[in-house]
Structure 1
Amino acid sequence: MNGIRIITKLPYRQWRSFSRCSILHQEIAQAAAPLTIPLPEGVDKPVSPKIEKLVTDITQLNLLEVSELSQVLKKRLNLPDAPVMPAGGFAIAAPAQEEEVATPKAVKTNFTVKMTKFDDKQKVALIKEVKSLLEGFNLVQAKKFVESVPTIVKADISKDEAEKLKEALSKVGAVIEIE
Structure 2
Amino acid sequence: MEEKEQVDLNQLLNAIKSLTLQEIKIFTDKLQDELGISSDNLYSSRGILTESTSHNKEVEEIDEKTEFDIILEEVPSSSRITVIKVIRSITNSGLKEAKEFIEALPKTVKEGISKEEAESVKAQLEESGAKVTLR
* TM-score between both structures, scaled by the size of structure 1: 0.42
Q: Name 1:146's counterpart in structure 2.
A: 102
Tell me the C-alpha RMSD between the 2 structures: 2.1
Q: Which of 94, 108, 116 does residue 73 from structure 2 map onto?
A: 116
Q: Name 2:119's counterpart in structure 1.
A: 163
* Separation in structure 2 between the aligned mates of residue 150 and residue 122 of structure 1, nearest angstrom: 16
Higher strand share: 2
Residue 104 of structure 1 and its aligned partner are, at CA, apart by 3.3
* Separation in structure 2 between the aligned mates of residue 128 and residue 110 of structure 1, nearest angstrom: 25
Percent sequence identity over aligned pairs: 31
Q: How does 1:18-167 map to 2 (within 5 A)?
A: 103-135=60-92, 137-167=93-123
* Separation in structure 2 between the aligned mates of residue 166 and residue 178 of structure 1, nearest angstrom: 7
3-state SS of paired residue (1:112): strand
* Separation in structure 1 between the aligned mates of residue 89 and residue 64 of structure 2, nearest angstrom: 31
Residue 132 of structure 1 and its aligned partner are, at CA, apart by 1.4
Are residue 176 (structure 1) and residue 132 (structure 2) matched? Answer: yes
* Separation in structure 1 between the aligned mates of residue 72 and residue 125 of structure 2, nearest angstrom: 9
3-state SS of paired residue (1:113): strand
Higher helix share: 1
3-state SS of paired residue (1:152): strand
* Separation in structure 1 between the aligned mates of residue 77 and residue 87 of structure 2, nearest angstrom: 15
3-state SS of paired residue (1:109): coil
3-state SS of paired residue (1:103): strand
One-letter amino acid matched to 1:162 = A
3-state SS of paired residue (1:106): coil
4+ aligned runs moved over 3 Å, structure 1: none
Instruction: Indicate the structure whose relative CO is greater, using CA pairs within 8 Å and at least 6 residues apart.
Output: 2
3-state SS of paired residue (1:173): coil
Give the gaps of 5 or more residues in structure 2.
1-52
3-state SS of paired residue (1:177): strand
* Separation in structure 1 between the aligned mates of residue 66 and residue 89 of structure 2, nearest angstrom: 25
* TM-score between both structures, scaled by the size of structure 2: 0.56
* Separation in structure 2 between the aligned mates of residue 163 and residue 151 of structure 1, nearest angstrom: 17
